[in-house]
Amino acid sequence: MTDPAPRFGGLLDRARSSRLLRGVGELVLLGAALLVFTLLHAAMTTDVSVPTANALSLQAWEKTLHLDVELAANRWLTDHPALVLPAVYYYRLYYLALVGVLVWTYFRHTEVYRKGRRALLVMVALVLPVYWAVPMSPPRFSLPGVVDVVALHSPIGNHAPRASGGQVLYSAMPSMHTAWSLWCAYVAWSALRTSHPRLAPLPWLFPLGMVATVLTTGNHYVLDLVGSAVLVTASVAAASALHHRL
């Protein structure tokens, strides 16, 4: 009688090899998307006048709507120095959550991973035209009295100061820090809502914390955050529509 163990072992090895190849393919796809996003983002204008004018218009809209809380929020943080460094780390290390959600869902919730990955790629594609069409100077540059908390206190990397010439300075609308965190919460919630429904609401604490962080550090306006919510909602809807049509 033939021993089935070698045959089973061969099937297991082939399955692992196939999963490894798929994993490499996913890394290449996401890496390529990140590279294209970075290059196109870098090609944006560095002219200060248009982003500043857009920021002043946004400030006027917020004042009319009684949403102009950025300066007060920033002053609150600077008046509580014990919270400054945690806020800086929260702002800086968001990508750990992004990578963690991708890896976790890839290995444990494959269908959720695919849905989330589609939404992530759509989100990257949708936000670039907005950045090009409406460059926006953040409060730390365009709102008098706002302290650039991350630039002053960040122990990680370099947060571009006002004098730097660079595209990332003028892409405040929408807030991608908030959009990434909303995406993480949506994907984690999607994975947990059937297997661990009591834990499913917890991931939404992450974007709530990010909203507080980007406002108090002077990096975004309230309406930037509204733009982030619209972006993520549109990306999830578009990704779902494309999946059902293709």
For residue 142, the surrounding DSSP H or E stretch is helix 139-142
Tens digits of residue pLDDT in 116-144: 999 999 999 999 999 989 999 999 999 99
Find the largest Cα–Cα distance for the chain.
84
Mean pLDDT check: name the lowest of 71-80, 111-120, 159-168, 171-180.
159-168
Could you give the CA distance from residue 113 to residue 191 in angstroms, rounded to a whole number? 9
Asked if pLDDT for residue 200 goes beyond 80, the answer is: yes
DSSP symbols for 27-45: HHHHHHHHHHHHHHHHTS-
Cα separation, 59 vs 71, whole angstroms: 11
State residue 191's pLDDT score: 96
23-66 per-position pLDDT tens digit = 777 888 888 888 888 777 777 766 788 999 999 999 999 999 99
C-beta of residue 170 within 8 angstroms of C-beta of residue 137? yes
Structure confidence at residue 165 as a pLDDT band (50, 70, 90):
very low
Q: Which of 35-49, 161-175, 182-196 has the lowest mean pLDDT?
A: 161-175
pLDDT for 67-114, tens place per residue?
999 999 999 999 999 999 999 999 999 999 999 999 999 999 999 999
Does residue 10 carry a pLDDT above 70?
Answer: no
- Cα 158 to Cα 243: distance, rounded to the nearest angstrom: 39
